Structure 1
Amino acid sequence: MIKYWVLTVCCFCAVQLSFGKVYKVATPEEFSKAAAVVLPGDEIVIAKGNYNGWSLTLNANGTAAKPIIIRAEKTGKVIFQGEVRRAVLKISGSYIEVKGLSFEGCILFKGKGSDVVLVHLDAARYCRLSDCKFIKDTVNTDFMPIVVVSGNGDHNRIDNCSFSANFNNQEVQVRVGKEDVSLYTLIDHNTFMDKDSVTWKGNNGGECVQIGQDPIMLGNRYSYATVRDNRFIRCNGEPEVISNKSSGNKYVNNYFEDCHGELVMRGGHECLVDSNTFAGGTGGVRVNGTTHTITNNKFKGLPIAIRLMYGMAKGKIDTGFYIAASDCVIKNNKINQCGTGILIGGSKNADWTGKFDTKRYPSRTMQDVAPFNNEVENNAIKNTKVPVLKETAP
């Protein structure tokens, strides 16, 4: 009997040891103290409440079996609000999960020498932002994102988050730099909705998702990001709902409804656009660059479903403000009730003289290189005024 009692106690102690410590915090100071001592399996629980002026950092390492968790005491009841002049939450290290936080009505002010964002995964590995809400957040300067993945990290994930009625900002940005790039980012099962047009000059800087920032000089860098199973509803921030500006990325099984914008291969090469649905709105998929695969997508009620664009240059080596669409596969897509199904030759002979810095971007300014060597076949196009329109003549 004593032997069984000892065995039971040992088992209980083993179970206790398998769980980490829980640190409940309600101030930035309490968070910082917990962040300095957390170990794999520990949790930092932020107490219910509305908070303003917080700037939190955590640089630590969990494990795959025992991640470090930062979570709301109750999902949706920990709300960050007000002016933001430094990152609210900056995560570095590995195997850290952030869950259940809300950011509502935050106003981000750009500062010198610091990233002003709501959540920043900085050179992180296997970290996760999950089940968080971003509602009516805005910024004071163009091209500012509210969630950023950057640095030489890999396998970070943003999932099951809600982005609603955010204004004048980019919502999720994966940075691709000359010296560093975060690889294999997964953005999945999020909802982006009710995003009004930006007020910035040129109607630019309001993407929901941006993978890479410099398609002209850094579009050849491979980031291998995956954007899948997300919903984009009434996203009208700018002409690019999703902006791809790097290579080797995948866009799979996303749903777009009544968006004033497109899924855009602005730069980069060898991306996959597969099994997405576009219902209403101003456009479907726009393609520059080489060796993209656009397959098994559904388009309904659009002016133009798929656009293969002219460029200033061709191939993966030449520098051009736009690269002509070439060697792409456009296959097995279903197009219904559109004005034009597939346009081969968008922006023909567009003149960009004076519209970009030719010293920074050593490119010709005339968009006169036609799309070429693209495989367009087995697409089911119905009830569409112009199934395929070719504008490739000189």
Structure 2
Amino acid sequence: MKRIFLLALAIALISCNDQKLTSINVSNIDELQTAINDSKAGDVITMKNGIWKDAQIKFHGMGTEQKPIVLKAETPGKVIIEGQSFLKLSGEYLVAKDLYFKNGYTPDEAVIIFRNSPDSIAFNCRVTGTVIEEFTQPDRHRKDHWIEFYGKHNELDHSYIAGKSNEGPTLKVYLNGNEHVNNYHKIHDNHFGPRPRKGGPKAETMQLGASTTSMTPSYTQVTNNLFEKCNGEVEIISSKSNFNNFSNNVFLESEGSVVTRHGNYATISGNIFIGNDNPYVGGIRVINTGHVVTNNYFYKMRGTEFRSGLAVMNGIPKSPLNRYNQVTDVVIAHNSWIDCEQPIHFSVGVNTDQAEVLPPSEIRSARPKRVIFANNLVYNDRFTSYPIKAYDKIDGVKFKNNLLLSNKNMDSDREDFTLKSISNTLGDELFYTPAQYDGKLYDGYGFNDIDVDLFGTSRNQDQNYIGAIIPPVSDKKATVDYSIYGATWFTPSTGNKDIKTHTVTNASEFMAAIKDANSEDIISLKEGTYLIDETIALAKELKITSANKDARATIQFDNLKTAFLMQPKGILHLESLNVLGTADQDLFRTEDKDMSKAYGIHLNNINVENF
């Protein structure tokens, strides 16, 4: 008994000693880097609460699956990383968690990078519970990324990422080299919050690969994320590699699409696209070969062509890697489009009418072929347009057992859908599904693999339920719970609930109102001329208007290079005003003179002179 007691005491003392050695508290960057350099498997490095300015963290170590090396905040969200900062991870089994990046930007290529150098790469490393909010370059033309994936089996989860306004995808996966392919990275349960319009390309929220590596297998898993108002450009997600999986994500009023830009064999399944009648919101755009598009649900989509609910492209014969390959061998099945205006577009991008002026390498004449479009549902009692628009012959598409429910008369000679009047629908305001289909579902090769619906309910082969949802829809699933995405300790701003109007009569009051106003407030200018001698930097949403639409106020900018400097979250509505400048001035900081759509600038009844 005495020996057993002594042995137990020794084990307890060793355990206490190990616990003491593996918990390391640091209060500045030098202590942090020393702790990292000395770290071993099982260590927990805790950053003290407070502001860490210009923290350029190089996290390298060799943990194990059972004993990772953890770098964490003392209190989630209370370690605030500001200034010119970044986090680089390399080695194996590292975890960084609960950090908050804001009020700064990266001086490097990215904010979070899964490598320290080309020869020091991350494997089985994880970033979780982290927030990057408006950690954006002051110059929107300076390119960077916020998260870069290298190596294999790395993970980003339960994080909030929002506010990138400069050039470059928010998140990018690299596949240059054998150490980065077949990577099986996991990107899940994140909230990708609003990204303002940049104007033009190179502003995706997510890019997986590049044209040069587009034939490379990636197997990146993008699942259970929320993409809210990701408006950077026409592509929210650009898949430029093979065998990627985009499943069970929610796209809320995001002005772009999930695009299989260059890669093949993507799975796009169980996603919810909510447009709420925004004409710029897109859905899924299909290019290349071998994709499976199933169980997706589209609600109130009104986008067209490249931004339509479903856009299947024409390709270029013998296309180079960086152009549009022909769509072949694609399955589009058990999807639902609800209250969408003509949401399905085939042969998008066809330009054979320009064959005389374009080189052959630019002619998109290769129509989709060996495409199966089956068991899909359209429910529509709002619009009279037929749900499909074809820009070329679509003889390469096989239409099988699709159902259109509508009480509207539609002028079309197409027979791609069985048309029935709306009756006996189940669900609430958002989710609709018909009762059992009285026809026979198409059951082609591989269709038995579509064994669950949008919500994971098992599909019984004896049940003829068409579209994405098998009824009934349970109360728990009848709405989308946006709160389950992102960092549990962080609540994103929900906007201005008390919009105020600031009435001003002179230039000093006008400048003070711009400084004091909350986002979405209105600044109302009394009649007169407002002489402004400093650039207006705007990092919030404001409406500036004349108090009397029949007696416009005049804003005159004197001897300034730039009138309005648009910063992150900057959205400007100018209405019923005269805006005067002098020679060689820019009204906005950009080379593009037409800002109304590209950069969050909205002009209504504006007279602009000398810009």
Under a length normalisation based on structure 2, what TM-score does the superposition of the two structures give? 0.58
Moved more, 166-175 or 176-185: 176-185
CA distance in 2, matches of 1:270, 1:352: 30
> What per-residue deviation string (whole Å, max 9, x for no partner) do you get for residues 202-243 of structure 1?
x2222222111x22x321011110000000111111111111
Aligned to 1:331: 333
Contact 2:242 2:265 in 1 (8 A): yes
1:54 pairs with 2:55? yes
Contact 1:320 1:364 in 2 (8 A): no
Moved more, 323-332 or 337-346: 337-346
Deviation at 1:313, TM superposition (A): 3.1
Task: Specify the code of the residue in structure 2 equivalent to 1:96.
Answer: L
How well do the aligned residues superpose, as a CA RMSD in angstroms? 2.4
Task: Specify the code of the residue in structure 2 equivalent to 1:9.
Answer: L
Aligned to 1:12: 12
* Helix, strand or coil at the partner of 2:217: coil
Counterpart of 2:231 (choices 236, 248, 269) is: 236
Q: How many residues align?
A: 371
> What per-residue deviation string (whole Å, max 9, x for no partner) do you get for residues 90-123 of structure 1?
11100000001010122234xxxxx432111122
CA distance in 2, matches of 1:21, 1:293: 47
* Helix, strand or coil at the partner of 1:374: strand
CA distance in 1, matches of 2:285, 2:316: 16
Contact 2:56 2:84 in 1 (8 A): no
Describe the shift of the 1:165–1:9 C-alpha distance in structure 2 as closer, same or farther (beyond 3 A).
Answer: same
> What per-residue deviation string (whole Å, max 9, x for no partner) do you get for residues 302-354 of structure 1?
12211110111369xx6461112211110110111112232121111176999
CA distance in 1, matches of 2:355, 2:238: 20
> What per-residue deviation string (whole Å, max 9, x for no partner) do you get for residues 47-69 of structure 1?
11112222121221100000000
Task: Specify the code of the residue in structure 1 equivalent to 2:111.
Answer: L
Task: Specify the code of the residue in structure 1 equivalent to 2:169.
Answer: Q
* Helix, strand or coil at the partner of 2:33: helix
Aligned to 2:350: 348
* Helix, strand or coil at the partner of 1:195: coil
Deviation at 1:375, TM superposition (A): 0.9
Describe the shift of the 1:252–1:143 C-alpha distance in structure 2 as closer, same or farther (beyond 3 A).
Answer: farther
1:117 pairs with 2:128? no
Contact 1:353 1:365 in 2 (8 A): no
* Helix, strand or coil at the partner of 2:77: coil
Deviation at 1:178, TM superposition (A): 5.4
CA distance in 2, matches of 1:61, 1:142: 34
Moved more, 179-188 or 243-252: 179-188
CA distance in 2, matches of 1:57, 1:270: 36
Moved more, 332-341 or 162-171: 162-171
Aligned runs of 1:40-119 on 2, under 5 Å? 40-84=41-85, 88-109=86-107, 115-119=108-112
Contact 2:350 2:363 in 1 (8 A): no
Aligned to 2:369: 372
* Helix, strand or coil at the partner of 1:30: helix
Under a length normalisation based on structure 1, what TM-score does the superposition of the two structures give? 0.88
Task: Specify the code of the residue in structure 1 equivalent to 2:185.
Answer: T
* Helix, strand or coil at the partner of 1:327: strand
> What per-residue deviation string (whole Å, max 9, x for no partner) do you get for residues 285-312 of structure 1?
0011100110000001112211110111
Gaps of 5+ in 1: 110-114
> What per-residue deviation string (whole Å, max 9, x for no partner) do you get for residues 18-56 of structure 1?
645122112221122111211100011111111222212
Deviation at 1:274, TM superposition (A): 0.4
Aligned to 1:205: 202
CA distance in 1, matches of 2:219, 2:267: 10
CA distance in 1, matches of 2:240, 2:101: 27
> What per-residue deviation string (whole Å, max 9, x for no partner) do you get for residues 243-265 of structure 1?
11111100000001111111111
Contact 1:371 1:392 in 2 (8 A): no
Contact 2:55 2:82 in 1 (8 A): no
1:310 pairs with 2:314? yes
Describe the shift of the 1:389–1:165 C-alpha distance in structure 2 as closer, same or farther (beyond 3 A).
Answer: same
Aligned to 1:137: 135
Aligned runs of 1:232-271 on 2, under 5 Å? 232-271=227-266
Aligned to 2:148: 148
**Structure with the higher fraction of residues in strand conformation:** 1
* Helix, strand or coil at the partner of 1:392: coil
Q: Which has the higher contact order (CA 8 A, sep 6+)?
A: 1
Contact 2:136 2:163 in 1 (8 A): no
CA distance in 2, matches of 1:319, 1:184: 23
Contact 1:312 1:320 in 2 (8 A): no
Identity of aligned residues (%): 26
Contact 1:341 1:381 in 2 (8 A): no
Describe the shift of the 1:143–1:240 C-alpha distance in structure 2 as closer, same or farther (beyond 3 A).
Answer: farther
Deviation at 1:390, TM superposition (A): 2.6
CA distance in 2, matches of 1:66, 1:99: 15
